[in-house]
Amino acid sequence: MANGDKGGWKEYLWNPRTREFLGRTASSWGLILLFYLIFYIFLAGLFALTMYIMLQTLDDHKPTWQDRLATPGMVIRPNTDETFEIVYNIQNTESWDMYAQALDKFLAPYNDTLQAQKNHECTPDQYFQQEDSGDVKNNPKRSCQFNRTILEECSGLNDRYYGYREGQPCIIIKMNRVIGMLPGKDGQTPSVTCAAKRDDSDKLGELVYFPPNGTFNLMYYPYYGKKAQVNYSQPLVAVKFLNITVNQEVNIECKINANNIPLGGDRDKFAGRVSFKLRINTIN
C-alpha cells in the first residue's frame, strides 16, 4: 500500500487538524448517540406500556382467552406407561403389586379425613356455581369433597390390592379438567360406560361401577382453574372387572355419556373416551 493511502486512512480515522474521528467531530458523534439513546428509550417505553396495558386485561385466576374443547379427554389409572396396557400374572405378586401401589399413591389425596379438612360438603345433583360479583372476585373458590369411600370395592380401603390378586382388577377413570365446563344439561348427570371392542366382546364379562352407574356428579362442576380453586378434587369413576377372560388380551374402550358432550372422531381417539388393553395371566 502506498504511503499516500496509509496517510488517507490515518487521516480518516483521526484528523488532528479538524479533530474529526471517522469523519465526524465530537459534537456530531454526541448528537448521533443522543438520538439513538432517545430512540431506543422510546421503543423500550412503548414496549413496556404495551405490556402493562395487556397485563391489565389478564386475570390471575382465569384465562382471558380459552381454546375451549368441545370434548374433554379421559385417562385411566393405574397407568405405568404411555401404551395403556395393564398386564400381570396373578401368581406373580410383583407383576400386579406395582398397580396397587400406583393406585394407593393416586388416591391418597382423596382420603376422607383430608377431604373433610380441605373441601366443602356440597349439595349433590346440581352445579356448584360460585360466580364473581362484578369486579369483586370470589376467590379462592370452594371445592366439593370427593371421598375415597365413594369408590367402595375399588377404594383400596377394604381390599388393599384393588382386586388384582383375585383377578378382578379395578381401573380408575377421570375426565380432564376444562375451565367453565358444565357437562350434562337439564339435570342429566354425565356417566362412564366401558365395553370390549368388537373382536373381544365375548371376553369382557361382568362389570360394576363405583359410584353406581359410573356417574360424575354435577356438584363437581364447573371447574374454575388451578389458582381460583386450589383444593379442587377431580371426580372419579372406578370400574371393576368381575370375570374377564384370563390368559387373553382384551381391548376395552370407556367413554363419557352426556347430552352436551360429543364424542371425538377418529382423528382424536382420546376425546371423550379412552382405550386400553387388559390381560390377566394365570399360568407362567
Could you report the per-residue pLDDT of 41-76, keeping only the tens digit for each? 999 999 999 998 888 777 666 666 666 566 888 999
Q: Domain check: are 122 and 156 in the same one?
A: yes
Q: Domain check: are 148 and 175 in the same one?
A: yes
- For 200-284, where are the E strands, in sequence order? 207-210, 237-241, 249-257, 273-281
Rank 50-54, 79-83, 144-148 by mean pLDDT and report only the highest: 144-148
Q: Identify the pLDDT of residue 80.
A: 62
Please tell me the total count of domains within the chain: 2
Q: What is the mean pLDDT of residues 140-168?
A: 94
Q: Domain check: are 89 and 156 in the same one?
A: yes
Q: Domain check: are 15 and 118 in the same one?
A: no
At 238 the three-state DSSP class reads: strand
Q: Domain check: are 47 and 130 in the same one?
A: no
**Any bridge partners for residue 15, and if so which?**
20
> 189 is written with which cell numbers?
348427570
Gap between the Cα atoms of 89 and 96, Å rounded: 7
Q: Domain check: are 78 and 52 in the same one?
A: no
Domain with 260 in it: 74-281
What is the number of helices (H) and of strands (E) in the chain?
A: 4, 10
Beta strand 237-241 pairing with 249-257: unpaired
* CA-wise closest residue to 98 among 83, 86, 82, 111: 86
Confidence category of residue 265, pLDDT binned at 50, 70, 90? low
- For the chain, where are the E strands, in sequence order? 14-15, 20-21, 74-77, 85-89, 170-175, 191-196, 207-210, 237-241, 249-257, 273-281
Confidence category of residue 266, pLDDT binned at 50, 70, 90? low
**CATH number of the domain where residue 203 is located:** 2.60.40.1660
Q: Domain check: are 116 and 201 in the same one?
A: yes
